[in-house]
Amino acid sequence: MTTLGYAILGLLSREDLSGYDLTQRMKGPVGYFWSARHSQIYPELAKLEDGGYVTHRVIEQKERPDKKVYGITDEGLEALKIWVTQPPIPRPIRDELTLKTYSVWLADPEEATRLFREEELRHEEQLAHYGEIRAWMEREWREDLTSTDSPEFASYATLMRGISYEREYAEWCRWMADSIEGGKSLETT
């Protein structure tokens, strides 16, 4: 079973969805830290069905193409539950901006400053976007968030990782830009 398979099962454990719906959901909290295109989702659904983790029924629609709505099976839910608390195999992190940083000494300081200011802005914008979603969740899900066994808490916790990640990234970008602009590094440490 692939990680993408578990991502899909995680969505289907909350509600029945079509391949198209799943693709859309990838733009939400799940997709913040694991995403896929429809070209990967459709074959993966076929594999999941092969393995008995999901089943589908065809919904015939007038004025729209027919769709296949997938639901998780008992076996699927069981497999998902086991996977959740199993320690993940550490995978190498791939971050192109930080890799560029390793060769930043070769760059024109002004261009490098521009790069890190731009990236800082990108992450600040993402942070602001997440902040809005957080405010919405805290308003709409006030009670659900007091118990950690609700899907709402799980979505909230995933979002919190996103907020924390983006804040850290933006701060480091700012430190980088400031360091290069000032021409010094250790003074701001």
Partner DNA sequence: AATCTTTATGTAAATCCTGACATATGGTAC
Partner DNA sequence: GTACCATATGTCAGGATTTACATAAAGATT
Touching DNA, residues 74-103 (CB under 7 A): 91-92, 94
If binding is defined by CB under 7 A, does position 39 make contact with DNA? yes
The yes or no reply on residue 64 touching DNA (CB under 7 A) is yes
The token pair at 135 is 């405010």
| Widest distance between CA atoms in the chain | 67
DSSP 35: -
Query: What string marks each residue from 125 to 164 as x (binds DNA by CB under 7 A) or -?
Result: ----------------------------------------
d(CA 133, CA 59): 32
Q: Which of 20, 141, 153, 175 binds DNA (CB under 7 A)?
A: 20
Residue 40 CB, nearest distance to a second copy (Å)? 11
Residues within window 40-69 making contact with a second copy, judged by CB under 8 A: none
Q: Are 29 and 93 in contact (CB under 8 A)?
A: no
Shortest Å, Cβ 35 to DNA:
6
Q: Answer for the pair 11, 22: CB distance below 8 angstroms, yes or no.
A: yes
DSSP for residue 146: G
**Residue of 22, 80, 120, 127 interacting with a second copy (CB under 8 A):** 80
H-helix or E-strand spanning residue 157: helix 151-182
Distance CA 29, CA 149 (A): 17
Task: Tell which positions 126-165 bind a second copy, by CB under 8 A.
Answer: 138, 142, 145-151, 153-158, 160-161, 164-165
Residue 21 contacts a second copy per CB under 8 A: no
Q: What gap in Å lies between CA 139 and CA 17, rounded to an integer?
A: 26
Instruction: Give the residues lining the site for DNA (CB under 7 A).
Output: 2-4, 18-21, 23-24, 35-40, 42-43, 45-46, 61-69, 91-92, 94
